Structure 1
């Protein structure tokens, strides 16, 4: 029981390092630009307004195709339950931000994370973070896609992860630092076999990061398909 509790703590601590400009799902402290991890509430609010207006009317379940070096993954996004998060994600997709980035951290039985690093583990500059929409009823179940972030609840920007297990401990519990959870904003509708292939690749430590694929798994292109 102590081992299980310890494992969950490690995974949560690691995900607290994912996102924003953050690096990852491990026990290492997040490495984020100060501008991304120290945003004021006003700055976060401005960012959510920009992303919403920038994507005109985002509604329903827009689909995004991730073409990767392991195959294609199709995502259906839930703009009704996670409007700010979906608008933010689509803005990065449409700008070509994800093209050439990698799934830089993969952990069997947990998740695959990408959307912010190149093959040399160089972090891309992101926009300001967005409001955490984890309290939307969507759960971190197998095949769901959620926003990665630092330990600050409202610090997500570009990085995301796809769950390869039911990770209920990542779901919203309450509006506390520990309880906010990780905002789910869609799910894999095609290509879960590709996700499973990615999570099974050999990993290593690279430039201070753990669980990095030995051979880079690249997102060659991300595009809105519907």
Structure 2
């Protein structure tokens, strides 16, 4: 089984964004959804132009409807602009490799799910340099009330050997284990070393990287994970996400 999500030190193992500063979010780090489709199922459905978004056991952090099962053809060339309190972050999606992930993100954005929400986590370690956003509750344990399976670069065969490059400028999904994607995503501002367990679904533009560099330079409010993993000192709020 693949390791849980993205942190450097949470009881000495890789753990999710939900490995937070309170008991509730820490417990979520060890939770794996039993309702989400497998990555093989998701990939097969995506090849037919269909996606699955079953209801999750957790209540949505903010009222939202799950996406339709059929991505729109326009999403293959879609882009997005995240307007934050610290500057804009432009995104280019890769719907060819991660159609169901892109479809979910666009659906959430169009429903205003990300508007007026915090980016709750900033890391600045040699092997993990990301800003994590997408949980309206700001705790790291919230989501949209549904989940969906992994896509690129996660293989259909769990025993397969796969590599992934989470380099500067990568846009990827956070999760709480295999096939537990929801609304949380992370923005990589410096080359990071991670197992290929997190769906990559796009890239960040130059303006966005400058915004991320500015946020990182302001520093981190140290939490139980130490001085290189906590809330951004600058306080980062997503004002709106616009899809083009």
Normalised by the shorter chain, which TM-score bucket?
Answer: 0.7 to 0.9
RMSD of the alignment, in Å?
3.6
The aligned residue for residue 178 of structure 1 is none
Partner residue in 2 for 1:146: 172
Which residue among 128, 133, 136 is the counterpart of 1:114? 133
User: Structure 1 residues 24 and 90, CA, compared in 2 at 3 Å: closer, same or farther?
Assistant: farther
Residues of 1 paired with 2:117 and 2:14: CA distance? 19
3-state SS in 2 of match to 1:219: strand
3-state DSSP class of the match of 2:9? helix
Structure 2, unaligned stretches of length 5 or more?
Answer: 1-6, 43-51, 55-65, 155-162
Give the TM-score, by structure 2 length.
0.68
Q: What is the alpha-carbon distance in structure 1 between the residues aligned to residue 186 and residue 53 of structure 2?
A: 21
Q: Aligned residues, how many?
A: 200
Residue 128 of structure 1 pairs with residue 123 of structure 2: no
User: What's the CA shift for 1:122?
Assistant: 8.0
Tell me the residue number matched to 2:9.
10
Cα gap change, 1:220 to 1:59, in 2 (>3 Å): closer
Tell me the residue number matched to 2:53.
47
Which string of whole-angstrom CA distances, capped at 9 and with x for unpartnered residues, describes residues 188-207 of structure 1? Answer: 12321001112222322569
| Per-residue deviation, residues 37-77 of structure 1 (Å, max 9, x unmatched) | 433245996317x6353543354231111000001110000
Higher percent of residues as helix: 1
How far apart, in 1, do the equivalents of 2:191 and 2:225 lie?
28
Segments of structure 1 that go 5 or more residues without pairing to the other structure are: 1-7, 173-180
In structure 2, distance between residues paired with 1:129 and 1:167? 25
